[in-house]
C-alpha cells in the first residue's frame, strides 16, 4: 500500500464579498498517495485552485486540516510553512511564473539558494534536472528567448530540483498548443517514474484528465466523486533519485 504524501480533512474556505459570504470549498477531504497522479477537474470557480492553495500551504483553511507527510499544518507558523513548502512541495503555474531577468539555470537554482544548498551541489542538481527536461543547451537563455513549452519545462525543472514528494500544477497545459501540451504530459509521467514524485493537477483539459491515475471532479466547492480512472501504478518502495 502506498503511503499518503498529502491529505485534507473537512477543509472549508470562505470569502467575503461585501455582506455576502461565498464558500470556495466546503468540507473537502482528499488524500494523495506517493507517486500518484491526481487531477482536480471542474469549471472555473469550482474550487480547484483554492484546494491547490490549501494543499500547498499558500493559504489556510477556515475549517478542517491539511496534512503533509503525516504532519498537520494547522499550528505551524508562516515561517515553518515556508520551510515545509521548500522541503516537500514543488509548484507549476499556468503562467510559468519565471523570473524574467534570470536565465533558465538561475530560475531553477532559485529554490536551492533559498534552501541554503551548497554551491557545487546546487550547480550539479540544476544541471542534472535541466538535462532531464531536455534544456541543457538552453540553460543560459532567459525566458523571453524560450518557447512556451520550454518555459513550462523550466518551471517543471524548478519544481523538481528540491526533490519534493508532491508537485502541485495549476492548468499546466493551458497556454500550450496540443503537441506541446502532450509533450509536457509525457514529461510529467516520465519524471513521476524517475523521481517517484506525486502530482496534484488542477485542469479542465480532457487530455490531462485522460492521463491521470485518478480524477476528482469538484463542483461549487465540493468533491462530486473520487475514484481511480485506471489501475493504480504499482508503488516502488525505492527512494527518489
pLDDT 10s digits, 30-67: 999 999 999 999 988 899 999 999 999 999 999 999 99
Cβ atoms of 105 and 136 closer than 8 Å: no
Question: What CA–CA distance (Å, rounded) separates 51 from 49?
Answer: 5
Instruction: Say whether 193 sits in a helix, a strand or coil.
Output: helix
Cβ atoms of 200 and 36 closer than 8 Å: no
Question: What CA–CA distance (Å, rounded) separates 36 from 5?
Answer: 9
**pTM score over 0.75:** yes
Q: pLDDT class for 2, splitting at 50, 70, 90?
A: confident
pLDDT at 232 over 80: no
Average pLDDT of every residue of the chain: 90
Contacts for 64 with CB less than 8 Å, ≥ 6 apart:
8, 9, 10, 11, 12, 27, 28, 29
When the candidates are 3.10.20.30, 1.10.357.10, 3.20.20.80, 3.40.50.300, the CATH number that belongs to 4-228 is 3.40.50.300
Instruction: Say whether 219 sits in a helix, a strand or coil.
Output: strand
pLDDT at 203 over 90: yes
Pairing label, strands 166-170, 198-202: parallel
Task: Name the grid cell of 25.
Answer: 470549498
Amino acid at each position: 500500500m502506498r503511503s499518503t504524501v498529502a491529505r485534507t480533512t473537512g477543509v472549508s474556505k470562505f470569502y467575503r464579498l461585501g455582506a455576502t459570504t461565498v464558500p470556495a470549498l466546503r468540507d473537502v477531504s482528499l488524500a494523495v498517495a506517493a507517486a500518484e497522479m491526481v487531477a482536480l477537474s471542474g469549471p472555473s470557480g469550482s474550487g480547484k485552485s483554492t484546494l491547490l492553495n490549501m494543499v500547498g500551504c499558500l493559504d489556510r483553511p477556515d475549517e478542517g486540516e491539511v496534512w503533509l507527510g503525516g504532519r498537520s499544518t494547522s499550528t505551524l507558523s508562516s515561517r515553518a510553512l515556508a520551510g515545509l513548502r521548500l522541503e516537500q512541495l514543488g509548484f507549476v503555474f499556468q503562467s510559468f511564473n519565471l523570473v524574467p531577468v534570470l536565465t533558465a539555470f538561475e530560475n531553477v537554482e532559485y529554490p536551492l539558494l533559498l534552501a541554503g544548498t551548497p554551491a557545487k551541489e546546487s550547480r550539479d542538481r540544476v544541471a542534472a534536472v535541466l538535462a532531464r527536461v531536455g534544456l541543457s543547451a538552453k540553460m543560459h537563455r532567459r525566458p523571453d528567448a524560450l518557447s512556451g513549452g520550454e518555459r513550462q519545462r523550466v518551471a517543471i525543472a524548478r519544481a523538481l530540483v528540491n526533490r519534493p514528494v508532491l508537485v502541485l500544477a495549476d492548468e499546466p497545459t493551458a497556454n500550450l498548443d496540443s503537441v506541446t501540451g502532450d509533450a509536457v504530459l509525457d514529461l510529467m509521467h516520465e519524471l513521476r517514474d524517475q523521481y517517484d514524485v506525486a502530482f496534484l493537477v488542477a485542469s479542465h483539459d480532457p487530455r490531462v484528465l485522460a492521463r491521470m491515475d485518478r480524477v476528482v471532479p469538484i463542483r461549487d466547492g465540493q468533491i462530486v466523486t473520487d475514484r481511480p480512472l485506471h489501475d493504480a501504478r504499482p508503488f516502488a518502495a525505492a527512494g527518489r533519485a
